[in-house]
Amino acid sequence: MREGVRRRVQRSVQRQKVVQKRRVQRVVRRGGKEEKEICACSLFGAMNMEGERFGGEGVVKAIANMRVRGNGLGGGFAIYGIYPKYKEYYAFHIMYERGNEEAKKETESFLNAHFDVVFAEEIPHAECVDVNVDNPPLIWRYFVAPNKQGEEKMLSDDDYVVQKVMHINTRIRDAYVFSSGKNMGVFKGVGYPEDIAEYFLLKELYRGYIWTAHGRFPTNTQGWWGGAHPFNILDWTVVHNGEISSYGTNRRYLEMYGYVCTLHTDSEVFAYAVDLLMRKQRLPIDIVAKIFAPPVWELIDKMEGRERELLRTLRMVYAPLLMNGPFAIIVAHHGEMIGLTDRIRLRPLTAGIRGEMLYLSSEEAAIRLAAKKLDKVWTPNGGEPVVARLKAGVVA
């Protein structure tokens, strides 16, 4: 199964190499140079802590201001609160490789067999000739309710959905579920974030109370549509700046719990890890932060009492989920947005508050484009989460 997934990703990567070659050729013809920064991605998040929905103009402007941190090989957004008409249904965003009509037929047959599909349509988008996006896949959305049979009735709806998403992503050739939560959606692809926003008509069509955004320089993989951020499972999304050298260990641990990493990028493990720890095991974010970015053993041994025992236990029990390497992440799910960096802040993260709005960003300048006046701006300590909750404000 894993070999089949690898071949699918390799085919898609080869296609995107051609896309990137064309992109570079266009830049050269214009007499410019390809823009890239090999040690940085751009992150941005905005949350209205009262739950009021807002448009994406400020978010797109902010992430576009950090264009130098990417090179056009990946951009994307996660938006919460965008499907109030279908808020009780899981919204599947699925991409199909162009030219494989069987992928869509097989996927829709699978969905109809395991879900009640209440509505389906191609996700609205601009024409490629009007925006700076090349060779996009066919992207549809499906609003579904679980139709569990037999022993599957013992599963929770969320676990059932995770199981079926993993099946599609590993068993159906050229089909990828990249968004699967309720009343939220991920929109991503190959291009700069502002290009992706223009392609999916985000500013024109959507309003949400949480927006997260990412501009990508692929760390260890070629840029392709499935490998762009955010990464998602259910309503959990993660955008990530950094490089996780522990990816192999993290991936194998998550596979024991039914999560299959099909996108072959280190960032994917974060989305599945937060779903496992925070949804399934119901651990609070302060504990999850200690799992992802714990103190070194030397410091733990110098501690006393319950704190030392807690950290020793976490490092032993959850050693395979230690995220080894530099990282800054923004995690979101319904009702909450979280920012976290590694212990020594090898990747930047800045937080700002204006009224009921919390902003998280790789750069303060981007926040000040979205909100010219701030009540508070600060640099979070390494390994300590910034947490905003609906109706509760910033709680950590």
Nearest one of 212, 209, 185 to 335, comparing CA atoms: 209
> 375: alpha, beta or left, given left = phi > 0 and alpha = psi -120 to 50?
alpha
Distances (CA, A) of 267 to 76, 262, 298, 326, 360: 14, 12, 28, 12, 18
**Residue 298 parent element (H or E):** helix 297-302
Torsion of CA 92, 97, 99, 100, to 10 degrees: -60
Compute the distance between CA of residue 270 and CA of residue 237 in angstroms, rounded to an integer: 9
41 is catalytic: yes
Nearest one of 335, 178, 394, 374 to 271, comparing CA atoms: 178
Distances (CA, A) of 156 to 86, 153, 167: 20, 8, 17
Instruction: Read off φ and ψ for residue 212, nearest 5 degrees.
Output: -125, 150
Compute the distance between CA of residue 367 and CA of residue 243 in angstroms, rounded to an integer: 24
Compute the distance between CA of residue 198 and CA of residue 48 in angstroms, rounded to an integer: 23
Nearest one of 175, 171, 91 to 137, comparing CA atoms: 175
**Packed helices 305-317 and 285-292: angle between N→C axes, nearest 10 degrees:** 60
Compute the distance between CA of residue 335 and CA of residue 23 in angstroms, rounded to an integer: 39
User: Residues with catalytic annotation?
Assistant: 41
